[in-house]
Amino acid sequence: MISNHEIDYRIYGEEMQCVEVELDPQETVVAESGSFMMMEDGMQMETIFGDGSKQQGGFFSKLVGAGKRLLTGESLFMTAFTNVSNTKRRVSFAAPYAGKIIPLDLSMMGGKVICQKDAFLCAAKGVSVGIEFQRKLGTGLFGGEGFIMQKLEGDGMAFVHAGGYIMEKQLAPGEILKVDTGCIVAYTQEVNYDIQFVGGIKNSVFGGEGLFFATLRGPGKVWLQTLPVSRLAARILEYGTYKRKEEGGILGGLGNLLDGDS
């Protein structure tokens, strides 16, 4: 079995974070397209086809792996950064929106973590970024954001990004946590994921929270985010397309002032 590259790292920032990865000579880190921030001299950048794992198969197996990445909303290609110098070199990757970067040591988590489809940021070369289908019928029909997820497999470090504040929950055996599907960032493979109907006419029609939520059953560890990117995008779109009837008038200006919009 080929082990993943071992990498050292440091996370900077509070709300808009970046991760700096330190590589020994010939070590490599792979990252999602568009996450690169900066690198020191002596680093070599290469676009690779597939998920960045050390695949032993031919072109067809790589094509299948790349196709799975498309289903999770990611690009066919990833970028590999290799230290080709004789000393340690650093490369940094930035989060795409306000939130936190979560370091995951897969060797301490059974070699596999399941995460939201847009959460992956970067990882040590050798970590496989694949697709995880939630196979239950109810989950497939009503799971929404949680139906198609990513799986990170290997024994190296991986980094995922989430919006807002991050909460970590360690679930005991049989302990159940009910969560909005968009608020799930990642969970270890022992956690059982399912979808549950909210119930009640008033909740269903007037609740504003959707008809279904996710149930996570322990044992295992769960990471939750307070601001899913889909919720943020919907709110920005709402404000960008909604125009108040009173805008442009004296009363409209006064109303905006009282609301704190001016």
pLDDT at 1: 41
Q: Are 163 and 99 in contact (CB under 8 A)?
A: yes
Residue 257 lies in a domain: no
Residue 259 lies in a domain: no
* Residue of higher predicted confidence among 249 and 101: 101
pLDDT at 190: 95
Q: Are 261 and 253 in contact (CB under 8 A)?
A: no
Residue 258 lies in a domain: no
Token pair recorded at residue 45: 């950048």
Residue 260 lies in a domain: no
Phi, psi angles (nearest 5°) of residue 79 = -115, 130
CATH classification at residue 167? 3.60.160.10
Name the strands in the sheet holding 212-217, side by side, starting at the edge strand that comes first in the sequence.
Answer: 176-179, 212-217, 192-197
Residue 181 lies in a domain: yes
Whether residue 257 has pLDDT greater than 80: no
Q: CA 27, CA 89: separation in Å to the nearest integer?
A: 10
Q: CA 7, CA 198: separation in Å to the nearest integer?
A: 43
In the chain, the DSSP E strands lie at 8-12, 18-23, 28-32, 36-39, 43-49, 77-83, 89-94, 99-105, 112-115, 120-124, 128-133, 148-153, 157-163, 166-171, 176-179, 184-188, 192-197, 212-217, 220-225
How much is the pTM?
A: 0.77
Radius of gyration of the chain (CA): 21
124-163: per-residue pLDDT in tens?
998 988 888 765 544 444 444 446 788 999 999 999 999 9
pLDDT at 66: 53
pLDDT at 198: 67
pLDDT at 241: 67
Residue range 209-238: average pLDDT?
Answer: 83
pLDDT at 3: 57
Whether residue 115 has pLDDT greater than 80: yes
Q: Are 81 and 45 in contact (CB under 8 A)?
A: yes
Residue 251 lies in a domain: no
Whether residue 95 has pLDDT greater than 60: yes
Residue 2 lies in a domain: no
164-209: per-residue pLDDT in tens?
999 999 999 999 999 988 899 999 999 999 887 766 545 444 444 5
Whether residue 219 has pLDDT greater than 90: yes
Domain count across the chain = 1
* Residue of higher predicted confidence among 249 and 170: 170
Residue 255 lies in a domain: no
Range of the domain at 76: 8-242
28-85: per-residue pLDDT in tens?
999 988 899 999 999 999 988 766 565 445 555 555 555 555 555 555 678 999 999 9
